[in-house]
Copies of this chain bind each other. A is one copy, B any other.
Amino acid sequence: MALNPLTLEKTFRSLLEGKKYQSLKDILVTMEPADVAGIFEELDDERVLLLFRLLPKETAAETFAELEPERQELLIRGFSDRELHELVNELYVDDAADLVEEMPANVVKRILAQADPQMRREINEILRYPENSAGSIMTTEYVSLRPAMTVAEAIARIRTTGVDKETIYTCYVTEGRKLLGTVSVKDLLLCADDAKPVSEIMDENVISVSTLTDQEEVAQMLSKYNFLALPVVDTDARMVGIVTFDDAMDVLVEETTEDIEKMAGMLPSEKTYLRSSAWDLFKHRIPWLMLLMISATFTGMIITGFEDALAAQVVLTAFIPMLMDTGGNSGSQASVTIIRALSLGELELGDLPRVVWKEIRTAVLCGLALALICFGKILLVDRLLLGNSNITLLTAFVVCFTMAVTVLIAKIVGCTLPMGAKKLGFDPAVMASPFITTIVDALSLLVYFGIARALLPI
């Protein structure tokens, strides 16, 4: 069962106060690195260093890799050179590269000084690649086999070199660093003939990504093909590393959170909510709020332009919020659906005509249903029940007709803007609810007053 870090935290605190180090060691050895890291995040600074030193050597590096950068920096500052040396060379290369990226310059200097030459070279190799590329999240520690090796030799090689590799289960058959094929440990183990060369059982139809492929695409490929790892090749088709499924899962979660934040009109943040200060939240939220507030000048101008109409038919004002909200909601339903489908790769840009046609039909259905119910509601609730005698049949008709047109506009804007953004190379996610709401607001007011002017005595 999963451990609850909050209850365990208390146990740890009291054991630490009682200096019961052996008991602490006994507990720590039974725990998963992710759970230990969860507790470390909750404890005071001095206690964390003490506890870290009690961790069994095998899980210390993994636990370290699971910590937030602030905790990592704190621990490194407390480490002796010997401790740092041991830790750094025990980390997987991709975790070490992440660490170097996150730490301030003086800490990085100490880390690289303590890294073995091979480790240092591989860290630097990964750091060369642009952020969010396959190269930047890959690890260079994989099992490579030669095509002429027999199955028995391959298994023997895995047994001798596997201990430092992030995954041993998919092995890569290379010659002169060129990737020829893949072979899984399952294939090797289940192969009845130990003397068969690897080249005969390997799968030559290798799916690989380039070092510059976007990490989100890599993650989606791993998820689509159900692979444990994907090989990363450079521009000369030479194998340089692998991306493993666990990193892909993290990327999927991270990128989705970013999309969701953008859709809600926020700049994406890398910090978790509880670790973000009010100032951080402010900085991520204010740009869109400010932009959208200022662009609301247009809606204001439209209303001011029709001030005389509103003065003549004050009852029209009461329906503005309903029309605007329905338009906004209809638009964001469409945009959010399209943005998600684009980011899951379910939609291509070429599908635009099909999408628009589908949204138009949906909008007609939604618009008719809403207009009908709204007509009934206005006459029964607003006029009869609430006794608003200013509402005539014609007013109700103007409102409901506007409603249907607004829904249609909103759905069309909601589906075309994200696809247009993608076409122009922008992120479709920023074309979500807040932005679309502002546009739909302005359009629906124009429609509203236009129809009112035409039909009502204004």
- Asked whether any CB of chain B lies closer than 8 Å to the CB of A113, the reply is no
Chain B proximity of A378: nearest CB distance (Å): 9
Chain A, range 308-349, C-beta contacts under 8 Å to B:
310-311, 314-315, 317-322, 324-326, 328-330, 332-333, 336-338, 340-341, 344, 346-348
Across the interface, name the chain B residue whose C-beta is closest to A206.
Answer: B1
Interface residues of A in 220-255 (CB under 8 A from B): 221-226, 228, 245-246, 248-250, 252-253
- A373 — which chain B residues lie within 8 A by C-beta? 290, 293-294
Set B299, B310, B369: member contacting A286, Cβ < 8 A: B369
Binary interface encoding of chain A residues 249-292 relative to chain B, with 1 for a CB under 8 A from any of its CBs, else 0: 11011001100110111100000111011110110011011101
Return A335 CB to nearest CB of chain B, in Å.
8
What's the number of copies of this chain in the assembled complex?
Answer: 2
Q: Among B6, B272, B293, B388, point to the contact of A322 (Cβ < 8 A).
A: B293
Chain B residues with CB below 8 A from A310, complex form: 314, 317
Q: Which residues does chain B contribute within 8 Å of A438, judged by CB atoms?
A: 325
Q: Across the interface, do B290 and A325 meet the contact criterion of CB distance under 8 Å? A: no
- Residues from chain B with Cβ under 8 Å of A272 in the complex: 341, 346
Query: Is A300's beta carbon under 8 Å from chain B?
Result: yes
Q: Does A163 contact B (CB under 8 A)?
A: yes
A169 beta carbon closer than 8 Å to chain B: yes
Given A245-B245, A273-B347, A365-B279, A437–B264 Cβ distance below 8 Å? no
Task: State the Cβ distance, A271 to closest chain B Cβ, in Å.
Answer: 10
Q: How far is the CA of A72 from the CA of B293 in the complex (A)?
A: 51
Flag if A326 contacts B264 (CB, 8 Å).
no
Give complex CA distance A246, B204 in Å. 23
A189, A257, A374, most chain B CB atoms within 10 A: A189
What is the CB-to-nearest-CB distance from A428 to chain B, in angstroms, rounded to a whole number?
A: 13
Enumerate A152-180 residues with CB–CB distance to B below 8 Å: 155, 158-159, 162-163, 168-169
Q: Which residues of B contact A362 (CB under 8 A)?
A: 278, 281-282, 285
Contact yes or no, B162 A264, CB < 8 A:
no
Q: Does A76 contact B (CB under 8 A)?
A: no
**B347–A292 CB distance below 8 A:** no
Chain A residues numbered 5-19 whose CB sits less than 8 Å from any CB in chain B: 6
Flag if B278 contacts A361 (CB, 8 Å): yes
Given A297-B381, A297-B382, A264-B322 contact (CB < 8 Å): no
CB contact under 8 A between A285 and B366, given known A168-B189, A300-B318, A441-B321: yes
Sorted from nearest, which 8 A-B pairs have the closest CB atoms?
A: A296-B322, A278-B361, A264-B336, A226-B246, A299-B321, A282-B365, A273-B341, A303-B318
Q: Please give 11 more A-B residue pairs, beta carbons under 8 A apart, in addition to A274-B346, A328-B328.
A: A34-B225, A245-B249, A252-B253, A263-B336, A266-B336, A266-B337, A274-B341, A281-B359, A286-B370, A293-B377, A310-B317
Residues of chain A touching chain B, judged by Cβ–Cβ distance below 8 Å, are 1-2, 6, 30-32, 34, 155, 158-159, 162-163, 168-169, 185-186, 189-190, 204-205, 207-209, 221-226, 228, 245-246, 248-250, 252-253, 256-257, 260-261, 263-266, 272-274, 276-279, 281-282, 285-286, 288-290, 292-294, 296-297, 299-301, 303-304, 307, 310-311, 314-315, 317-322, 324-326, 328-330, 332-333, 336-338, 340-341, 344, 346-348, 351, 354-355, 358-359, 361-362, 365-366, 369-370, 373-374, 377, 381-382, 386, 388, 403, 407, 433-434, 437-438, 441, 445
- Can you list 21 residue pairs at the A/B interface with Cβ under 8 Å? A34-B225, A169-B186, A222-B249, A223-B246, A228-B228, A253-B344, A256-B256, A272-B346, A273-B347, A278-B358, A278-B361, A281-B337, A288-B333, A290-B370, A290-B373, A294-B377, A296-B321, A304-B315, A304-B318, A307-B318, A332-B433
